[in-house]
Structure 1
């Protein structure tokens, strides 16, 4: 509750929370707030010339090149972005935390081997590696989430490793060891509690990166496959109409930017609140 009160005092964080709440609420309530199925090709959804309809009172965001209601596809696409953002980033944080804590706590050969593998993974461009992995496996919602998790855990592992190494060298850990505390007790009672704030911040900030990466993969055609709506593949499907029907690109593009910005604002505020070096500065 104290964290929520501090977030509420920050206007940018409050704006981010409001945007996230709207997107999450729309995703959960999608069946009740949209008038059409996201994959329904409406008989009157195109002009006589076969062009998409512009936004009006009936189609709030217009229709796409197949005559489908764009508002319905944007709302259902929010589900895809949130599922992948939360699942993929949650898995990335979990994998990175396990690798980082193990390497930083055990040190020695195990720690060196894990961090050299992490460095090897960091040497590959994340987008290129994600494209290769997505092309190898048959793209689907959960495969895309898995692919993103496989390329995003390395940054978390490096940060957690650094913090774990620093914590294990502090005086209170040395004192615990001198008193005969077992390694599991030191890990559970003194190391992991100090890493929770870092994992929370990375878990929030990383969602924005994950949403953007999913949109990029879908735009390139190796992400979530049609007809499942995704903000990235909506842009990919309709990019040829950019000049004559710009709303087909701008609306999902704005949705991606706003959601990523919202998570970044909240994550940045959480970092300031949970970082003890920032206490008393605001």
Structure 2
């Protein structure tokens, strides 16, 4: 005769602390990536809300914005970051400059990634004469120093915001094309692709169902890392006087306009230089973290 035993008590369920799922959650658990995300978000919010939060019009030459000798004012209670050589509030120009620099950086990098991904996929997937011609052209473009090529292209056209976007995109797509080509070429020779072909699948089905999903992580990583490069290139072109033209503020031309006062008013160069470095560093930190998360085999190789 069996003796019935009382069921064991079920332990109370423990409520784990909420953790954001997926890629965002992994980014938030990395201190450096979290720092980068916070800086990027802060700059984006300040840039978007600039028309409502700036204390002065960025092009307004205030009457009390210069000393009696006509020199820029140092940071004070009225002008938090000081004024420039024309008596304009530097904080207002930096916030409006963030709109210009972010727009150019994101738009130029988006176009560059789109062109590079298209060239790399076509050359790697279809191959043949078209693929060889595309990659030889890519190699030719890579042979030119990016900055020198950008200077030449910018000098050929009347500098404007969208001309600068196109110029930067034209010199930054080649690295993406080379990487996407290598990955596409490797995927096109995999056994599961050959199996799909053997089952009668067409190029369109293979490309959109099997190749593109494998390339998405690479595109995302380069779409993030490339923004720092395009932002720095925009600042360089504007500093050289062939980028965004005054009075439209951008971080590069703010430094260009005020470089002669570097010794007597260093804040005019220090503050825009600091935000350029912070933004580029932040996108690099986030891009590196995304590369580790989306492709663990690359961890520690960069």
Whether TM exceeds 0.5 here: the answer is yes
Q: Does 1:60 align with 2:60?
A: no
- Structure 1 segment 153-172 matched on structure 2, within 5 A: 153-172=173-192
Separation of aligned partners in 2, 1:161 and 1:127: 24
Deviation track 1:118-172 (CA, whole Å, cap 9, x = no partner) reads 0000011100000011011110111100000000000000000000000111111
Q: 1:278 to 1:223 in 2, by over 3 A?
A: closer
Corresponding residue number in structure 2 for 1:104: 124
Separation of aligned partners in 1, 2:296 and 2:193: 19
Corresponding residue number in structure 2 for 1:217: 237
Q: Match of 1:36, SS?
A: coil
Match of 1:23 among 43, 47, 65: 43
Q: Unaligned 5+ residue runs, structure 1?
A: none
Cα shift at 1:277: 2.4
Q: Does 1:274 align with 2:294?
A: yes
Q: Does 1:143 align with 2:129?
A: no
Corresponding residue number in structure 2 for 1:6: 26
Q: Unaligned 5+ residue runs, structure 2?
A: 1-20
Runs of 4+ deviating beyond 4 Å? none
What RMSD over aligned residues (CA atoms) do the two structures have, in Å?
0.9
Corresponding residue number in structure 2 for 1:88: 108
- TM-score with structure 1 setting the length: 0.98
Q: Say which one has the larger Rg.
A: 2
- Structure 1 segment 173-188 matched on structure 2, within 5 A: 173-188=193-208
Q: Does 1:254 align with 2:274?
A: yes
Q: Which structure features the higher share of helix residues?
A: 1
- Structure 1 segment 93-132 matched on structure 2, within 5 A: 93-132=113-152
Cα shift at 1:276: 4.4
Cα shift at 1:278: 5.8
Deviation track 1:190-231 (CA, whole Å, cap 9, x = no partner) reads 000000000000000000000000000000000000000000
Deviation track 1:244-273 (CA, whole Å, cap 9, x = no partner) reads 000000000000000000000000000000
Match of 1:226 among 246, 249, 254: 246
Corresponding residue number in structure 1 for 2:210: 190
Cα shift at 1:58: 1.1
Deviation track 1:58-104 (CA, whole Å, cap 9, x = no partner) reads 11110000000000000000001110011000000000000000000
